[in-house]
Amino acid sequence: MRFGKKVKLSPRYIGPSKIIRRVIQVAYELELPQELSIVHSVFHISMLWKYIGDPSRITPTEDVQVTGDLTYEEVPIAILDRQVRKLRNKEVASVKVLWRNQQIEEVTWETEEAMRLKYPHLVQTIEKDDNVELRH
């Protein structure tokens, strides 16, 4: 994933950042943290949001671990739900995944097979929960 592109798993906000100066009427230069020093510091006003002070809506840059080529890997924290959808000729199992650095409203549905291949430890926890029998 690329930093700055609108991708499903990219962080919504990084900041807050201090405005250094107004470059032109619609562009501002920001004081960025050291780990984002390779990112150009001038932004169009359409990319900026007024800081209101809700810390739950901001992703700290130290939590994102941006690499030198401005990419990062998103890691799943937990699988919240499981469902099986019936298509014409087959059934597709999906899992609801909560990702690191994302809010609970931003969970995604991923195929169970893909998650099993990449993150087998998370899918095993769902299988254990499904196999539990309740006894009275």
How many other β-carbons are positioned within 10 Å of the β-carbon of residue 90?
A: 7
With CA atoms as reference, report the closest residue to 60 among 29, 28, 36: 36
Average pLDDT over residues 60-76: 71
Number of domains in the chain: 2
Asked, for residue 46, whether it belongs to a domain, the answer is yes
The verdict on pTM exceeding 0.85 is no
Q: What is the mean pLDDT of the chain?
A: 77
* pLDDT tens figures, 120-131: 887 665 555 554
Range of the domain at 124: 76-130
- Residue 18's pLDDT band, with cuts at 50, 70 and 90, is confident
Asked, for residue 122, whether it belongs to a domain, the answer is yes
